[in-house]
Structures are given as C-alpha cells and as structure tokens.
Structure 1
Amino acid sequence: MDLVSWMETRGRIANRDDAADAGYSTAHVRSAIRAGRVNRIRAKWIASDGAALDHLAAAESGGQVSCVSLARRRGWWVPPDADSRVHLRMPRNGVVRQDGTTAHWATSFGPSRPRRLEATVEDALADVAQCFALDQAVAIWESAVRTKAISLDALQQVPWRSAASRRCLQHTRGGTDSSLETVFHVRLSAWGVRLRFQVQLAGHPVDFLIGTHLVVQVDGWSFHSSSADRTRDLAHDAELRLRGYTVFRYSYSQIIYDWNHVERTLAAAISRGLHLHPTPTRERI
C-alpha cells in the first residue's frame, strides 16, 4: 500500500512517527511531499487532500480537537446556538496557529498522547463544563453517556479539577431519553420542588412529575413526530386529567428559545398548588 492509500485509512492525516512505524521511511515521506501528493503540517504531521479542517487545525497548533468540536465528531448533542469555531485542548506551551479557533489551556487527565488529534472523552467534557452554561453542559455530558462514549460510573471516578466539572457531575444522570429533558431538569433542579422523571402514570411513563400532580411532557421531535404519536399522547393526557393531574406539554422550540414562557407558566402552576394532590370540594346543599 502506498503512503497516500495508507493515509486514507487514517482520515487523510497522520503523524510522521506513525508513518515510520508503518514502514514509510523519511525519504519516502519527503518524496511524497515534494511531489505534492501530501502536505507537510509542521514537523510531525502530514496530510493529503480532504483532511478534516478540525484535524488540520489541531495538527498545526499542536493541540487536540475538544469540547463542542469533539461532541460534533462523536454525534453527541450540541446546543443549537453553539459556535462553529474549532475548539482545541492546548498544552501549556502550545501556540494557536489558526484564526477561528477556541483554545482550552489545560493539562490532560491522562498521558499527553502527542500522536492523537482528538482529546479524550474526559478532557473534552472538562472543556465543555468550562465553556457552556450548566444546563447545556450537562446535556452534552448526558449525551456522551447515552451514546456510550463513557459510563456514568466512569464519570464518577474521574478526579475533576474544576468546580464547573464537579457541578456537571452532580447533575448528570443515567437513563435520560433526550438532551431536551436534561436541559429542563437542570433548570428546574434549583427550584426546591420535588421533581421526578420517567414516572409511570396511567400505564405510560411521563417525562417529569413535579410534586405529586403536575405532569410535564417534553416533546422532542423524534418521539412525537407522527399522527399516531400525537393521538397516543392526547389520549394519555386525557386519562391523566381524569385522574386529577394537571398536564403541560412543551416543545423543543419553547424550552430552547422561549424559556421565559415555560418558567412563567410553571411558576404560576406551582404558586396555585397544581403540583399537589387536589383537595376535594365540599358538596353544596
């Protein structure tokens, strides 16, 4: 296999030490560079046409793709308003060599791994905790757990150095269905009311139960997109109301872009005691 074909198997970018280990001599690599078949990226990296821009930025700066950039690569949930800049975890002596990058200066939890262009999951999540508001950061953390990039047990064993990371750990749960639910849960967790999720009521789980009788359903598009889904949801809502529950439904758009409305209606409901068991009215004579 020639050098360019070998690099195709590695995302079109490779460390020259890895190339040497694979049997490509220094002379072979230099010949490919002179012929324009590969490009030299600083002293230690070579890339062929089509290499990913975030990997190129990491190679040029001596850092690793991290934070929201790694989240995108791994298919974790990303806040819709997250910036498109490349986020790099940089060593203390590193130098950012590309415009349009965000640097996270930190020491890795593990070995330095100079031949790797992507940060570890632990390092990336630590950067996320520093870069995003708590609700969004926890949503990314739980998405990493949900996609099996890391387990909740493993997260609990990491000696997190920052207060932001430790706060994320306190709020991170296993078994969440969506990042939208995570955002909702984190935002309400400071209210001081009893809040449970995925509670079985009337034969089906509800997303959240506030107190004993205020049900909140969070409608992410993937779970409520069809007519059959909508019909099932309405039937369950009606049954819950017959049993004395108050039911609110909020869309993705409302929670992400109109939180003030969501907060206002929930606060009003709690103020009126709708989260408590309804008191029977005395029959009039």
Structure 2
Amino acid sequence: MRLSIGGPHLVLDVRFREGIEKVVRPVGRLLARLGLTANRLTVLGLVLNILAAAILVTGRFVVAAVVGGVGSIIDMLDGATAKAGKATSRRGAFLDSVADRISETAIFAAMTWYFSSRSTRLAVLSVLALGFSLVISYERARAESLGLDGKSGLFERGERLIVIGLGLLIPGAMEIALWVLVVGTAVTAIQRFIYVWRQAEPAPAPVGVTPYRIAETRIGRRRDQSADEGEEIGAGGSESERDATVFNAFVPRRMRERFGDRSQKRPPGSPGRRRRARGA
C-alpha cells in the first residue's frame, strides 16, 4: 500500500480501494437478495456509530471501537447494496452523506467530552480534528455544487476512521492518533482547497485577442446553431448593438421573452426612455 502524492487524488493507492470493492461487491449482492435496502443499512450504521460514541464517553475504548467498526462496515455496504439492487438515488446519496457527518461528529464529540475532564490538550485536539474534518467535507460538497472535482486529500473519511479505531484499540495510543488526525486533516484541507482553487481559475484570454473578438467568435458559432430558430445574430453595429447581440447570444430564449429582447430598440416615447430622461 502506497501513497500517491503526484496525482490529483492524494489518497490511499487505488489498488487497495479496488481490493476492498471486490470484497464489498458480492456482500452487497447478497444483502440485496435478502431484501435489505441501502437506506436501511445507512440508518443502521448511523445508529451503531451513535451507540459507539455513547460507549466511548464511558471510557470503554475497545467496546466503542468494535461497535463503531461494525457500524462503519455496515455503512460501507450501503453503496454496494444500492448498486446490486439497482436502487441508487439522489435521496440515498444525500442520506448517506448526512449520516456520515453525524457519525463522525458524534465520535469526535464523545472524545472531546471524555477528555475535557482528564486532559485539556486531548480535548482541544479532538475539537481541531473535528473542525478540519468538517472543512474537508464542506470543500468537497461546495466544489461538486460548482461542477468541480473535490475528491482529493490524504485523510478522507475512511482513513480518519482507521486512525481513530487504532487509537481506541491500542492502549496509550490515543494522543498519537489525535496528533496524526489533526496534522493529516489540516494538510488535507489545504491540499483540497488548492486543488479546487486551481480548477476554478478562469482561463486566460489569448494574447492579442480582445474580449469582443472572443464574443464575436462565439456568436459566429451560435449563428449556425440558431439559424433554424429564426434568430438574427451579428457582430457589427455600434457598441450598444454589439452588447445587445452578446446578451441575446448567451441568454436563454425564455429569459429574453420574460425580460425583453435587448436588440429591439424602444420608440422615442416609450416608458423606459421617459424614465431615463427624468433621471437625467
């Protein structure tokens, strides 16, 4: 298992993830045959993770790790079950994302509660790890809402759960695990921000080409597409006419019908001209 740092996805090696998929896929098909739905598995995994958080508050780390591990495995099977049963949906994806955030928040909150009366340093580390984890999740959600790729980073949710589980199972390893989580999630948040920021950077205009020339080129392409619609798109005329042409070329027809076609000149006595004259 190696880390791939040079590519856009700074995550555990793809071969490792493909190996997990090979194991999960047949289990998902079996669960689908048994009549279990992906949403039920998601809710069951959420309940087990909340139960693990409640056990963690009492200081029984090993029991919390076992219960949380079972909940995470069940949560990992919901996607394979949905694909096997051909029941993938936007509702299921939304439910799965919300359940993941609630589960992770419950675990970190439980650690913060437990350490608040025992070690202020560990309690602060738990809060920082939770904060950076939520930033990582938000960056991906916001990037995808903008049509960009946000799947990158060293410490995604699976890696964070593995580190938490090891910290709970190995006696005296909780502080090391929390330091690893804080540093790893901070680096991941920065790396993901830079990755999405570079995607969102606007492409520079060609050297020696004015914005109007670019618009005229696009209008020329649009002219061929809109010929059958009876639209008359040109690039000549005065500056106001050129602005109107660009507006009509890129604004959908329904919006133009609602707000008015800017290429149509208003008569001298129109209300719009009278309002502008008064304002002048």
TM category, shorter: under 0.3
Provide the TM-score with structure 2 as the length reference: 0.23
Higher strand content, 1 or 2: 1
Higher helix content, 1 or 2: 2
Provide the TM-score with structure 1 as the length reference: 0.23
Larger Rg: 2
